Amino acid sequence: MVHVTRIVIIGGGPGGYEAALVAAQLGAEVTIVDRDGLGGAAVLSDCVPSKTLIATAEVMTGFDASYRELGITLACDDQGDEAGRRAISVDLGKVNRRVKRLAIAQSHDITQSVTRAGVTVLRGTGRLGGGGQAVDGSREVVVTAVDGSTQSLRADAVLVATGVHPREAPDARPDGERILNWKQVYDLEELPRELIVVGSGVTGAEFAGAYQALGSKVTLVSSRDRVLPGEDPDAAEVLEDVFRRRGMNVMSRLRAEAVKVVSARTDVAEGPSSPKAGKEGRVGDRVEVTLSDGRVISGTHCLIAIGAIPNTEGMGLEEAGVKLNDWGQIVVDRVSRTSAPGVYAAGDCTGVFMLASVAAMQGRIAMYHALGDAVQPLNLKTIASNIFTDPEIATVGYTAADVSCGKMDAVEIKLPLRGNPRAKMQGIRDGFVKLFCRPGTGIVVGGVVVAPRASELIHSISLAVDNNLTVEQVAGAFTVYPSLSGSTAEAARQLHIRKRAESES
Ligand SMILES: Cc1cc2nc3c(=O)[nH]c(=O)nc-3n(C[C@H](O)[C@H](O)[C@H](O)COP(=O)(O)OP(=O)(O)OC[C@H]3O[C@@H](n4cnc5c(N)ncnc54)[C@H](O)[C@@H]3O)c2cc1C
């Protein structure tokens, strides 16, 4: 009799559904359990919705930033811009309905392809059953359906890919109307007039930039010296400059201690930071944010983006021998194994690198390993990532921090886009290409691109890092004239010269 391996996957995001597809292709009997819908938070509330919203913001910024320079005039320009009125505006209700429609359609497509591959999809909440491994090495997964009924499944291998949820501070609880987390913004029918974004990590920066482009007056509260702590400092500096130039109020080295909704009384509509807001004359609900230096700022809405908590509580993990770290994340090795035999984990709940692409890779690797296929352990040093602000910030491989702390010996070059002919034609002023290579061999070990569509431009550097290409090889490949990618080849050429000079000195 042929032995068929039974796989149960808890969580249907990229970590779970990509694993399900691979396991089914490899001949396993696969069940996937999800409580919200396949695609997970990535498709239904986080990655896909935010990038769809940003697609509208991108058109607005691109147009606003350069239409005059490119020689475009609008009827309202001829009549003279009315104070503060923009040439174009957005219907947020319509944008959000499009966001939700696309997310649901994508979740539906994923469910169809997973089902077509022969995977059983169960709607419900899954947890590991007590009692650890059975004599035959199998594990129990208990599934509770929406109606409260439960069923028990047996699996030769279990994959936990349950993702994360937004972190909340006790004095800043989202109400879904005025105080929002990043999942709740898509219910807004009207653009927040004055939006305070708390948190300047990737999520905070992306939303702050997007709402500013859509027309909100944005205040960004950052607990650090600059936005995007942990990212390339030159890239973060460019972005913060752009944010400020476009009128964003970036408040650094401050934490939000409390956020509350107030029924404001003011004579005049005051902007954020107004000491008067909330004093005279009723104008409707507002939010007040108390900062760590005692100041109170006010706006019409507040978006909280202060990190995420793994969905690992109450899942029977520790009882089953699965080790969690101090943040509640599941500890895994590079082939996605946990400390409990037969239990794998993938995606954000492991905290390895919170990206959809990494979650999917970890999930696939888990299945290759569980089902005895050839497996390449996860290599974090070749991961490409992108921050979808304007300009975008794309990164791959070793970073400036790795070089400065001595983790990687590398020579660096940064080439501003200002000198690129295509950038000049397109009215692009902000951004750069940065490359890192090994001093002796010239092998490219990392890079950063800050530019519109940096997410597309990073791929050539990604290929170089992944294949140990040298700066000479990157410089030798043709680029189109004129193109932004010409700056990558030029950076490689200059790095070749610098490397030579440094080896001769
Ligand atoms: C605002 C935002 C924007 C982002 N943008 C990007 C981006 O542009 N690119 C990128 O690569 N990444 C992006 N990310 C990160 C990306 O969304 C995550 O890395 C990705 O969702 C991780 O996938 P996952 O499979 O681990 O979990 P998820 O996508 O979170 O899916 C987990 C699923 O498990 C379900 N679940 C949880 N517990 C249980 C249980 N006990 N039983 C059954 N089901 C359960 C959940 O309901 C969910 O459906 C973004 C994140 C945020 C917050």
Rounded Cα distance between 401 and 408, Å, is: 9
pLDDT at 252 over 80: yes
Give 279 Cα–ligand 1 centroid separation in angstroms: 42
H helix count then E strand count, the chain: 14, 23
The predicted pLDDT at position 277 comes to: 40
pLDDT at residue number 276: 42
Listing from the earlier edge strand, what are the strands of the sheet with 150-155?
125-128, 139-144, 150-155
Sequence-separated (6 or more) residues with CB below 8 Å from residue 170: none
Whether the CB of 356 sits within 6 Å of ligand 1: yes
Q: Is the CB of 359 under 6 A from ligand 1?
A: yes
> Do residues 161 and 347 lie in contact, with contact meaning Cβ atoms separated by under 8 Å?
yes
Amino acid at 271: G
Round the average pLDDT of the chain to a whole number and report it: 92
- Work out the average pLDDT over 359-375: 97
pLDDT at 284 over 60: no
Ligand 1 near 182 CB (within 6 A):
yes
Q: Is the CB of 394 under 6 A from ligand 1?
A: no
Report the Cα 371 to chain-centroid distance in Å.
Answer: 30
Mean pLDDT, rounded, for 106-116:
98
**Mean pLDDT calculated for residue range 344-353:** 98
Output the pLDDT for position 7: 98
The predicted model gives 327-350 an average pLDDT of 98
- From ligand 1's centre to the CA of 164, what distance in Å? 6
Per-residue pLDDT tens over the stretch 201-244: 999 999 999 999 999 999 999 999 999 999 999 999 999 999 99
Residue 31 and residue 280: Cα distance in Å, rounded?
60
The one-character DSSP state at 330 is B
pLDDT at res. 184: 98
**Averaged over 183-207, what is the pLDDT?**
97
The reported pTM is 0.93
- Tell which one of 162, 353, 387 to mutate to probe ligand 1, the residue whose CB is within 8 A of the most ligand atoms: 162
Interval 58-81: pLDDT, tens: 998 878 777 778 888 877 665 545
Per-residue model confidence (pLDDT) at position 69: 80
Instruction: Find the mean pLDDT for residues 407-424.
Output: 96
Residue predicted with more confidence, 437 or 133: 437
Determine whether the shortest distance from the Cβ of 354 to ligand 1 is under 6 A. Answer: yes
To which residue do tokens 């919203």 refer?
53
Residue 288 has pLDDT above 80, yes or no: yes
> Residue 4 above 60 pLDDT?
yes
Percent composition of the chain: helix, strand, coil (DSSP 3-state, to 5): 35, 25, 40
Mutate to test the pocket of ligand 1, among 10, 336, 348 (most ligand atoms within 8 A of CB): 348
